[in-house]
Amino acid sequence: MPRLNNILYLVGTILDKKANAMCCSSVTQLTFSPPLIAASINKNTLTHDFVKERGTFSICLLGRNQSEMAHYFGRNSGRQIDKFESYTYRLSNQGNPFVEGCPGYFDCKVDHQATVELETHTVFVGEILDAEVGSMEAPLTYLDYQQEMCVVH
> 9-139 maps to which CATH number?
2.30.110.10
User: What would the pLDDT profile of 15-24 be if each residue is shown by its tens digit?
Assistant: 999 999 999 9
Cβ-based neighbours of 63, under 8 Å, separated by 6 or more: 102, 103, 135, 137, 138, 139, 140
> Does the pLDDT of residue 86 top 60, yes or no?
yes
User: What would the pLDDT profile of 107-124 be if each residue is shown by its tens digit?
Assistant: 999 999 999 999 999 999
Confidence of residue 147 (pLDDT cuts 50, 70, 90): confident
Mean pLDDT of 67-93: 94
Residue 50: other Cβ atoms inside 10 A: 26
In the chain, where the domains are located: 9-139
